[in-house]
Every structure is written in structure tokens, then in C-alpha cells.
Chain A
Amino acid sequence: MWVAPQKRDARVIAHYTGILVVGVGLAMIVPLITAVSLGEWDAALDYLFGMGIACAAGMALALVSPPDQPLDRTNALIVTALAWFAASVTAAVPLAVSGNYASYLDALFDAMSGLTTSGLTLVQDLDHMAYSHNMWRHFLHLIGGQGIVVAAVSIAIGLRGGAVSLYIAEGRDEKILPNVMHTSRFIWFVTAVYVTLGTAALAGVNLFSGMEPTRAGLHAFWATVACYDTGGFGPQSMNALYYHSWAFEFVTVLLMIAGTLNFNLHADIWRGDRWEIFRNIEARAWAANVAILSAFAALGLGSTLLFSDTMSVLRKGVYHVLSANTGTGHQTLYTAQWVGDYGGLAMGAVILAMAFGGMASSTAGGIKSLRLGLIVKGVVLRVRESLAPSSAVVRAKFHHLTDRELTPTLLDSALLVFVLYMVTYISGALVGAAYGYPIGEALFESISATANVGLSTGVTSPAMPAGLKILYILQMWAGRLEFVALLTLFASLVISVRRKRSQRS
């Protein structure tokens, strides 16, 4: 049944969205401090301006709409969908006035890309961007990757009624720990440990490479956040290629894998159940996925002119399969090399790695290996059913944190999301082709945006048509929310409009 949203629903939604917008404004304190510390006074003004707008707009929304009912599941879905857009609109303000973006739309594109941990960018003159603006771009990965909603749960909302609904709507619907507050704190704790270790390791690598200390530390922190939160932004236009360091690539790959690991698996391993990672269907499906696609990428690169030696196979082949599959999007190639030098087979492996994606309950995007594992199990189940005697009851079990049975509902959910992703991937590619881009590159970019990866063949640039920029913004938004929250938002808007029309007539 379609239930039309009431005015009191709108008040609840506006109130919580307002709180989240204020949260984004307060987060601008981080680039503001960076700007003041480093004497970037123009940038500091950009962030004061951004904070003012965010706090004023957010508080107006939150105070004008005091909620008179708790946040239910439907409203939580709508708040989640709106939160990403409202946060992006807010986060884009200081970027838009920075002078590094051709328009507000380009800044909005980067803000959405940052918050959804995609990594596609429309920034101009990145190599000379202020440190504080780079801090904000990468900090967006951190707050987006760990979840604006989880952050709100941890900081702003506390233990009030809506917290659990918001957390479920985020797409992390498995309880890691019994209490939602403990769960979000555990996520932040694991993140803090990995970010600290990653920053220290990469700072060492950068210092050894000859960078001056402040720059080495900042680049290390940004690369760590971009990899652990599977984002993909970089402070240099050449991205990871800029560092020309196998040690840098090794540390970042470890961070990417840690970032794509299901938080439930982190929790199990950190609490002593070390063998869960070997039994878990999702971890197994992910490992098999990466192994097969790495083999195909290596097979393809083996026959190319530039990348057939062993180090190139590892640093250009395996690195990009992992970067694509974890949804990170760091690249060690010039964008033109994807089409010119990489070869069709290896590029196909990277495209599939992007499309399939990492693990659920992590910062990775894409279809997710848990769903792929369930779909494969479902196919095997159907084959076994067709071979078994008609009186036999055939069942399939799998292990994901506990032993479970593969039910038709689970399989339907996995297939539904699989189909939604495939339709979005292909639709985006067709639109890109309609704008005149080669279909292969359009498909690459469409999958990269929807699966929140960030690898690019060069289609994504400030010069691309505004329609395509808007499409990729929508794809990044939809992919991050795995469609359901966004569809709920659009459905409620349509129902509201229809109800108003019917009331008038």
C-alpha cells in the first residue's frame, strides 16, 4: 500500500535533515583550522562563509520543524536519501568559492563524489590547490565513508528513538554490537586505528622519498583516508602515479582491503574469532572475485607492449583490480592509457571489478560480493533441485557470521539489487554514448560513478556536458544508497504531488 506522507512526516524529515546540515557545517572546522595553521587566509574565509551558511540553514530547518513523532523506518529512509544531497549542497559552498571550480555544479559534483566515497573529480588546477581545500575534499571521504548518518547517531542524536532507524537506512542493517551507539563507536574506533597507522606508514614513505615534513604528513593522511574509506581523491592530478613508489602502493592496497572488509568481520576478528574470515561466504566470494579478475587483468597485460613485465603486471594490473573492486579508484596510470595502452581484456577485468564491488557493511560500493555469493549459491540450488527426485527437499546453507539458510526472500533481495545496479550501469553508459563518447569509455565511467569507484578514462572532466555531470551526481547518490532509500524519497514526492493534485480537483 502506498501511504501518502503527512505534514508531521515532513516536519520530522526537515528536523533531522537540518541537524545533519549543521553537522556538515561544524565539520568545516577541520579545514578552517588547517587554513589558519598554514596561513591560507583566503581559504579560511571560504570556510567561515560555508560554516555560516550551513549552520544558519540547518538550524532554521531543525528549529522551525520541531518533530512531534519519532522517526519511523520510511522517514528514516527519506532522511538518509536527503541527507546525502543536503550535505553535498552544503559541503560544496566553500569549494565553489575557492576558485578551483568552473561552476557551483562542478563543486557540487566533487562534494557528492567526496561524500559518497567515489573519487571522480571536476577540480581545476588541483596541483596548486590550497592545503585546506584538499583537507576538506578528503575529510568528506572520511565523514561520508563512515556515514553521515552514523556520525549523526554518534554525536548529535544520541539515544533518542530515531537512531536505530537511521542506522538501518544507511545500508548497514546488521547489528555488529547489541547497542547502536556501541556499534557506531566501534566503527569509528577501527577507523581511527587504521587511519593512524596508515598515516604514520605513508608519512614515512613520503619522507623517505624526499618530501618536506608538513607536506609528507598531509599527503599521508589524505591518501590513508582516501584508501581506507575507499574514496579515491588525491591531492595531485596524477593521483597515485605521482608518488612512483611501490612502498606507497603496497601500504595503500592494504588500506583498501581493510576498508572494504565488512565491519562485522572486523568486529569478529578483533574480538577473537580469527577463523570467521576464512568461513564467511562474503570474504570467500570477494577473494575468488579478486583472484579471477587479477588473473584476467594479468593475462591481458601480458600481451601489451608497455605493461607485460612482472612489476607492471602487479603495479598496473593487480593494483587497479583491487582499487576498482574495493571502490577506491586510486590509479597509477595516465587517464589516456586506459584506452591507449592497457588492452581490452585487462580493461574488461577492471570494469567487472568495479561493477561487482567489495563487501557489504563497509565503505565499498557496487553490487557487493555477499550478493554475488548468494546468487551463485542460488544458481547451484536451482541446478540441484532440477536434478533431485521430485519428493526431495533441497536446501542451501551458507555461513555469514552464523550458519544460515538461503531463503527465497534473501535470494530475491540480492537479485533485485543486482538488477538495479545493472540497469543503472547500462543506462548511464547509453546516455554517455548519446553525448558522443565511445560506448566502452561511457560504460567505464557509468560503472565507476554508480559503484562509487572513481577510476576515469578521462570522460569526467570540467569540459563534459552539464547533463552528464548531473547524471553522474545522481548515479553516485543512488549507488551509495543502493537505490532503496532514493526510490523511497522519489516515491514519497510523487505521492505527495498526486495527493495535492487530487485535493485541488
Chain B
Amino acid sequence: MEIRFHSPYRHWLVGLLAELAVFTGFLAVIALIAYVASLAG
């Protein structure tokens, strides 16, 4: 029988990294939108 230990720290670390990835991606999208808008300005 295999026994697995589930540590909340692994979930939290992955969650933190996921948040940072989403924030960075969001900033990239906003920067692109702002760049395009500035060209029209």
C-alpha cells in the first residue's frame, strides 16, 4: 500500500507561483493595450 503525505505548503507554493504568473501576464496584456492606445493618441 502506498502512503502519500499531502503537505499544504506545496499547494501554497504552487498557488503563489500561479498568482505571480497571472499578474505578470495581466501586466503584459495591459501594456500591449496601452501601447496600442498611445499610438492612436
Contacts and interface: CB of A to CB of B under 8 A. Distances in A.
Interface of A: 193, 250, 253-254, 257-258, 261, 266, 269-272, 274, 277, 287, 290-291, 294-303, 308, 310, 313-314, 317-318, 322
Main secondary structure of the interface of A (DSSP, over half): helix
Contacts of B29: 291
Nearest to A272: B11
A299 B40 contact: yes
Contacts of A297: 34
A201 to B, nearest CB: 11
B3 interface: no
Given A193-B16, A291-B29, A302 B22 contact: no
Contacts of B14: 272
Contact of A270 (B11, B27, B31, B40): B11
Contact of B41 (A261, A290, A299): A299
B37 A318 contact: no
B26 A274 contact: no
Nearest to B12: A270
A295 B23 contact: no
Interface in B20-36: 20, 22-24, 26-27, 29-31, 33-36
Contacts of A257: 23, 26-27
Given A254-B24, A277-B22, A302 B15 contact: no
Contact of B34 (A271, A272, A274, A318): A318
B19 A266 contact: yes
Interface residues on B, range: 20 to 34
A313 B22 contact: no
Given A270-B12, A271-B11, A274-B15, A298 B38 contact: yes
Main secondary structure of the interface of B (DSSP, over half): helix
A299 B37 contact: yes
B19 A300 contact: no
Given A270-B12, A290-B30, A291-B30, A254 B23 contact: yes
A266 B15 CA distance: 8
Contact of A299 (B15, B23, B38): B38
Given A270-B12, A295-B33, A313-B35, 12 more contacts: A250-B27, A254-B23, A257-B23, A270-B16, A271-B11, A271-B15, A294-B37, A295-B36, A295-B37, A298-B38, A313-B38, A317-B34
A301 B15 contact: no
Nearest to A274: B18
Most buried by A among B8, B29, B36, B37: B37
Contact of A301 (B11, B24, B31, B41): B41
Contacts of A322: 30
Nearest to B16: A193
A310 B35 contact: yes
A294 B33 contact: yes
Nearest to B41: A302
Contacts of A254: 20, 23-24, 27
A298 B34 contact: yes
A313 B39 CA distance: 10
